[in-house]
Structure 1
């Protein structure tokens, strides 16, 4: 299951993975997901197994401390310093096989020139993210409040120039 770039043709399968992983209140609409893909197509990955798309990762260049509200629009800033991992989801059929870690590793390999990576940890994933080197940090509290209780902004330094 090597990660590859997502195509618009993958949208239905990505939405099916999202529906299998998140409660309805956390699911983003098809037009929001499509807009994310179109805004930064080089930072949206999927993993496939014999049954098709089994995981995805939406990321984009951002600024440290900026949090995209759940379901909110985003734009790539003129001078990004951070790779923001907006959403990682793995279908239950491949859970526990290291797919999320492979997606994140593949995405971080694309982060040339960016000094940080950041994300919002949801659904008790803090320990997973800490195992990848992310630590809790201060972020946009108003945007963070759009996520379910317990959501946590986390960051990781990618280079010594930070």
Structure 2
């Protein structure tokens, strides 16, 4: 069900994971004024449970990713829970958090790669996100293109940037050399 190696597993978010998810989210976003709280986070996962994941290590939860279908150019309002899901070929990566002790180990990249595979298998064509906290360069280096006109004021801070990219094609393995 999940992707695992080295004691790390990516799996769907379970009922018993919400205390950890809320703590991770609060620790990551409260300083930016972007913490949403349990009800909003759960509503986003409930809108698309097959595209929301927990990153688990031998020590317990170390990160999570929430993504849900959203029309291109639109994004969730941080001040309101989701009331209904959307049918869209665009998958919005709403939130990704890695615990500080596990950062700079490629775990965020693994979560995004898992999301890419999931998006591809479910027929999504694009992935979007809102870059906050100066992360635009990070996402740009991962193939996302900024659409500065798409982010209105609302619940996102100044400097937030809406970005998107196509769902990458699967990696093609290199052919094995022919035996002579």
Asked if TM exceeds 0.5, the reply is yes
Unmatched tracts of structure 2, length 5 or more: 1-7, 170-180
TM-score (structure 1 length as normaliser): 0.88
Candidates 6, 12, 32, aligned match of 1:5: 12
Matched, 1:155 2:164: yes
Matched, 1:49 2:79: no
The match for 2:24 is: 17
Structure 1 residue 104: deviation in Å?
0.9
Summarize the Cα distance change of 1:138–1:123 in structure 2 as closer, same or farther, 3 Å threshold: closer
Structure 1 residue 158: deviation in Å?
2.2
SS in 2 for 1:45: strand
Worse-matched range after superposition: 117-126 or 14-23? 14-23
SS in 1 for 2:111: helix
CA–CA distance in structure 1, aligned partners of residues 58 and 79 of structure 2: 30
Matched, 1:116 2:126: yes
The match for 1:107 is: 115
CA–CA distance in structure 1, aligned partners of residues 125 and 107 of structure 2: 24
Unmatched tracts of structure 1, length 5 or more: none
Structure index of larger Rg: 2
**Deviations 1:87-126, CA, capped at 9 Å, x for gaps:** 0111101011111111111011111321111000011111
Candidates 146, 152, 155, aligned match of 1:136: 146
* Number of corresponding residues: 158
CA–CA distance in structure 2, aligned partners of residues 158 and 43 of structure 1: 14
Runs of 4+ in structure 1 displaced over 4 angstroms?
none
The match for 2:101 is: 93
